[in-house]
Chain A
Amino acid sequence: MKTILLSFWVILFSVSPLFSQDKTSEVRAPTLIDIYLKSFSGEPGYRVSGMSEDMLKRFNETGMWKNPNLARFMKQIKLYKSLHFQSSTENGRQIIGKIDAAIKKDRLYKPYAVLNQNGAISDIYIRTNGNKVIELAYVVINNSGIGASSYVGDNIEIESIRSLVPDK
């Protein structure tokens, strides 16, 4: 009987800390996804996911990133968000056109690079605070729909990203 009771308490106390939540992350400014793409939440397959500062910190500390250059870059990131929803190519082009026009009008973000390759249009935007890049956003439209990613930090080195893929 004592053994049973003892084993129960061991299990109970080993389980309780596992249910505890991470501390709340610092509240940051809304990302490009929040500002320009949240309104499409009714679109089919709409999905938003992300990584909080605590989660990113944990990944960095436990060496979860395979590529060392990528690991170096991710140490600068405090918040990551991604979005995806299904859309036809034509509808997607219209949506991207509207978003691009709104971004240029608001001047919150600056277009950094654009690539139109094999029917996929990729736009990269940056948000700055003085001479520091505080957000790097990527919007793409391809056959499966529209996707967007946003990397938020205090001072992101954009050029360090170039080393992730060998330059041809």
Chain B
Amino acid sequence: MEKDNMTLLLEKYWRAETTIEEEKLIKQYFAAREQDALTQNDHWFKVIRDFQSIESNVVDFTASDPANNIKKFNLSIVLKIASTVMLILGATLFGINYHNRKIQAEKELAIRQEAEASLLFISKVINQANNDLDQSAGYILSLKKSNQ
């Protein structure tokens, strides 16, 4: 009885006249007959089931222009790398220059202090020499006076 009904439903199916509910009944029927020998219809519905199980793993591919894509990628990366390198180079040059100028300033300070100290010594020596000369002159004058 069930088989007769199913035969009718299948005939209806191949004429594309089945409703959604009727198609569900057909599916349930064949799912219950997995272990039985497969008829031509069984094969068809097995193929549909297999296809549905595969369908969930379908991967979408989108067509693109490979040449245009590479060009965009390269230009962007190259510009980023170039600007980073230039920035690092600029910062490095600035750092080296700053360091050199600091060292130069320290050297200049040292030599200035040396020149100042040296001049103060010269001043001291000249003053001392002049004082000694004055004392000697005074001593000679006093000797002359005492002799007279």
Cross-interface CB contact of B124 among A67, A151, A165, cutoff 8 Å: A165
Cross-interface CB contact of B83 among A1, A14, A66, A163, cutoff 8 Å: A1
Q: Which of B94-137 contact A (CB under 8 A)?
A: 94, 97, 101, 107-108, 110-112, 114-116, 118-131
Asked if B93 CB lies within 8 Å of chain A CBs, one says yes
> A151 contacts which chain B residues (CB < 8 A)?
115, 119
> A101 contacts which chain B residues (CB < 8 A)?
none
The main secondary structure of chain B at its interface with chain A is helix
- Least CB distance from A116 to B in Å reads 10
**Assuming the A-B contacts A162-B130, A167-B131, are A8 and B111 also in contact, with contact meaning beta carbons closer than 8 angstroms in the complex?**
no
Asked if B38 CB lies within 8 Å of chain A CBs, one says no
Q: State how many residues of chain B have any CB contact under 8 Å with chain A.
A: 35
- Least CB distance from A21 to B in Å reads 12
Binds A, one of B6-14, B44-52, B84-92: B84-92
Residue in B101, B125, B128 whose Cβ sees the most chain A Cβ within 10 Å: B125
Binds B, one of A23-31, A47-55, A85-93: A47-55
**Assuming the A-B contacts A12-B93, A124-B125, A168-B131, are A49 and B83 also in contact, with contact meaning beta carbons closer than 8 angstroms in the complex?**
no
Q: State how many residues of chain A have any CB contact under 8 Å with chain B.
A: 46
CA separation between A7 and B84, bound complex, in Å? 11
> B59 contacts which chain A residues (CB < 8 A)?
none
> B116 contacts which chain A residues (CB < 8 A)?
65-67, 70
Asked if A39 CB lies within 8 Å of chain B CBs, one says no
- Least CB distance from B71 to A in Å reads 17
CA separation between A1 and B79, bound complex, in Å? 8
Are A149 and B118 neighbours in the complex by a CB distance under 8 Å?
A: yes
**Assuming the A-B contacts A15-B93, A49-B114, A55-B108, are A7 and B126 also in contact, with contact meaning beta carbons closer than 8 angstroms in the complex?**
no
List 16 extra interface pairs beyond A49-B114, A163-B123, CB under 8 A.
A4-B86, A4-B87, A8-B86, A11-B90, A12-B90, A66-B116, A70-B119, A73-B119, A82-B118, A138-B121, A149-B114, A161-B122, A161-B123, A164-B119, A165-B123, A165-B124
Q: Would you list 6 pairs from A and B whose C-beta atoms are within 8 A, ordered by A residue? A: A4-B87, A5-B83, A8-B83, A113-B125, A113-B126, A149-B119
